[in-house]
Structure 1
Amino acid sequence: MSDFNKLIKQGALQVTAGGSAGFVEVCIMHPLDLVKTRLQIQSKTAVTNAQDPRYYSGVFDCFVKMYRHEGLTSFWKGILPPILAETPKRAVKFLTFEQYKKLFMFGSDTPTPLTFSLAGLGAGVTEAILVNPFEVVKVNLQSNRAVGKELPSTWFVTKKIVKEKGIGFQGLNKGVTATIARNGVFNMIYFGFYHSVKDILPEYEDPVKEFFRKIGIGFVSGTLASCINIPFDVAKSRIQGPQPILGTIKYKSTLRSIIIVYNEEGVRALYKGLLPKVMRLGPGGAIMFVVYDYTYHFLVEKFPLD
């Protein structure tokens, strides 16, 4: 097999494994992403009556009120956009990470922690640009409190956004800089920490112990990255979500949104939704790496690169 054909085949296997990892992670962890978004778009000036179904005092309260007032299926509101986005998104993420690695070797024979981090940053920026329109639609659906058939479809919301705002920075690409910052920082830490630590900690011959070794490293990677990038995530939710005053754009740019939230609500507001985010991306990060790793090696065995 020529080097070119080998590269194409390897890329196809990486895309398949990455897409599988994204699909599995979204289906399992989406309810926590929804709760995170609901908490992040809730400003301090919003309704604060604990009995009001529109106000959430925390993760558990949000789950209870959503179940009580919107039903069980409400936990998967807005799941179609991430399913449509996450499969190619994760495929692009893992594929581009492997390609960016080659650019950041800086003369070294083996990848260094800096290589992994910069490759992760590049992969995060790339996926953010591709996935942002899906994020805009997802946040719109997640912030909608309608029940059952009253909830608009994904396609209806997409057409409405395009018709009213277009595909520019006020429409389907609203908040793209916040998404780039969020995904870039997350993946820089996520990939950098995971691969650096995985290379340091010795592998186990026992497949069960090795499985949990990878799960543990992936969990810490996702948790650490979530804790560091969440201010950008809050800014993204505020920009892409419903504005506090109809007809007035309060949250526009990334840094300006972070400053507004800090000045009006304090530093703790920049970490709104951290618990469900960690609950999702801690185990979610572990799921993605493990599914990708095992799927990729399975495919290589079935379709050898030589």
Structure 2
Amino acid sequence: MSASWQWENATAGAVAGFATVAAVHPLDVVRTRFQVNDGRWSSLPTYKNTAHAVFTIARLEVCARRISLTLFFNGLRGLYAGFFPAVIGSTVSWGLYFFFYGRAKQRYAKGRDDEKLSPGLHLASAAEAGALVCLCTNPIWLVKTRLQLQTPLHQTQSYSGLLDAVKTIVKEEGPRALYKGVVPGLVLQVSHGAIQFTAYEELRKIIVDWKEKRIKSESADSSLNSGDYAALGGSSKVAAVLLTYPFQVIRARLQQRPGTNRIPRYIDSLHVIRETARFEGLRGFYRGLTANLLKNVPASSITFIVYENVLKFLKKPPTTKD
């Protein structure tokens, strides 16, 4: 496994991350607003379901501005709040993730005759990559979360964008505030990525083995196609989401902007867990799950389709002219 292959991995991951965000960002906004709406401290409107949330966010953003064709489309930007940091965060995260994941697999494969990794080593590779990515990108996700939670009715002076948010956070709350939610973020990244990539790799082996058996009997093509990648990406994502979703809720609630008195709504992860369990029960840890699945299952399919096909393109040897 050459060093150039690692950069091909990173490039494919970055392109996949960008494609994913561009396709499903409005559902990410909806999910984040559901996650922090605990019914007590949140100043956000109450949404009945995902469809109602999409309609309400768009309608309120439009009504908050004078109506004209241009401003109407600008009004819909509520559904794309935090899009810029989301694009940067997803592109960087996926690029780094695939890079670190590939490097970890390369290291674990050294000295092995067949260079095939066990599920445990796939798990370790994914966990290592997730931890490194979380430490690198937490400030970006913090800003994305806060921008997504801004509404026309927001009482605090709004952030005008990514750079303004970073400067304001550092000025008002100190540099450490950029790493709010990093503890549940680390648990989330390590466990979520480890579960997803282990499931992806193991399911991929099953499909490849099944196709290779068909070759012998039916002369079928054993190579995986975009449909295979979509099924692998979506199914592995469902398993990861269901098992790790509460950590997303905990992180989002910790990353909210403090109120006008600059006192955080939640002190730390344990405080979030106690308060959520006490006032909302188990259901509170799964707020926004529907929007999350609607966003992440197709998003993961898109990610792996783009990643695998970009990787194939980058690894394809250049054609030579006679």
Q: TM-score, normalised by structure 2?
A: 0.83
Superposed CA offset, 1:65-122 (max 9, x none): 0111113221111011121222121111001111112344597541111121221111
The count of aligned residue pairs is: 291
Q: Is the 8 A contact 1:222 1:283 kept in 2?
A: no
Alignment RMSD (CA, Å): 2.5
Matched, 1:264 2:265: no
- In structure 1, what is the Cα distance between the partners aligned to 2:92 and 2:291? 24
Task: Tell me the residue number matched to 1:166.
Answer: 174
- In structure 2, what is the Cα distance between the partners aligned to 1:118 and 1:252? 31
What is the 5 A alignment of 1:25-104? 25-45=20-40, 54-70=45-61, 71-104=75-108
Q: Give the AA of the match of 1:61.
A: H
1:172 is paired with a residue whose SS is helix
Q: Is the 8 A contact 1:128 1:183 kept in 2?
A: yes
- In structure 2, what is the Cα distance between the partners aligned to 1:255 and 1:54? 26
Q: Which moved more, 1:258-267 or 1:53-62?
A: 53-62
- In structure 1, what is the Cα distance between the partners aligned to 2:259 and 2:276? 12
- In structure 2, what is the Cα distance between the partners aligned to 1:104 and 1:264? 45
Q: TM-score, normalised by structure 1?
A: 0.87
What is the 5 A alignment of 1:207-222? 210-222=225-237
What is the 5 A alignment of 1:1-306? 7-45=2-40, 54-70=45-61, 71-104=75-108, 109=114, 110-146=116-152, 152-168=160-176, 171-201=177-207, 202-203=210-211, 205=220, 210-243=225-258, 246-302=261-317
Structure 1 unaligned spans of 5+: 1-5
- In structure 1, what is the Cα distance between the partners aligned to 2:304 and 2:28? 18
* Greater Rg by CA: 2
Residue 100 to residue 30, structure 1, CA distance change in 2 (3 Å): same
Structure 2 unaligned spans of 5+: 62-74, 213-219
Q: Give the AA of the match of 1:90.
A: W
Q: Give the AA of the match of 1:234.
A: V
- In structure 1, what is the Cα distance between the partners aligned to 2:161 and 2:106? 42
Q: Give the AA of the match of 2:91.
A: T
Seq. identity, %: 26
